[in-house]
């Protein structure tokens, strides 16, 4: 019975709130390899944020992002979460052999593109330490 409860909790989506969209398990395979191709990129200028050049997540940071990432509807994210114009980008290979392109911003919000699948919007509610600003 405890195993069933844990399984249901792992596959259930949250209901969301005023400040967080409904979040669902991303159900991604384990990450086998991460490549960071760009750090500190500026998508748009934002006042009150540190310079984008200061946003330099490490491989361990990006791996942690994927480990804690939940999927969310892009429209819900737009209305509930802060977004940063400061991003890092790269590529990922998963343990099942699939590959993807990713982007993540300073607020631990990002996306993952994989061939033959729709873009997955990801948010890591557990990413609280540097380089993430929650």
CB contact burial 105-121 (16+ within 10 A = b; e otherwise): bbbbbbbbebeeeeebb
pTM beyond 0.75, yes or no: yes
Residue 11: predicted pLDDT: 64
Q: How big, in percent rounded to 5, are the helix, strand and coil portions of the chain?
A: 20, 30, 45
Which is nearest to 21 in space by CA: 108, 123, 107, 118? 123
Residue 2: predicted pLDDT: 53
pLDDT mean for each 10 residues of the chain (134 residues): 45 79 90 95 75 91 94 79 88 96 94 95 90 78
Residue 73: predicted pLDDT: 83
Residue 4: predicted pLDDT: 38
Residue 10: predicted pLDDT: 53
Residue 134: predicted pLDDT: 52
């Amino acid at each position: 019975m405890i195993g069933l409860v844990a399984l249901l909790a792992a596959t259930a989506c949250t209901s969301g709130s005023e400040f967080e969209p409904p979040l669902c398990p991303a159900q991604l395979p384990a990450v086998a390899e991460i490549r960071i191709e760009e750090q500190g990129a500026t998508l748009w200028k934002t006042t009150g944020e540190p310079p984008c050049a200061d946003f330099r997540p490490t491989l361990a940071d990006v791996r942690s992002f994927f480990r804690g990432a939940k999927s969310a509807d892009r429209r819900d994210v737009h209305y509930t979460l802060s977004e940063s114009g400061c991003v890092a980008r790269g590529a990922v290979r998963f343990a099942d052999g699939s590959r993807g392109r990713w982007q993540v911003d300073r607020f631990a919000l990002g996306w993952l593109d994989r061939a033959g699948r729709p873009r997955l919007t990801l948010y890591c509610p557990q990413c609280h330490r540097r380089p993430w600003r929650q």
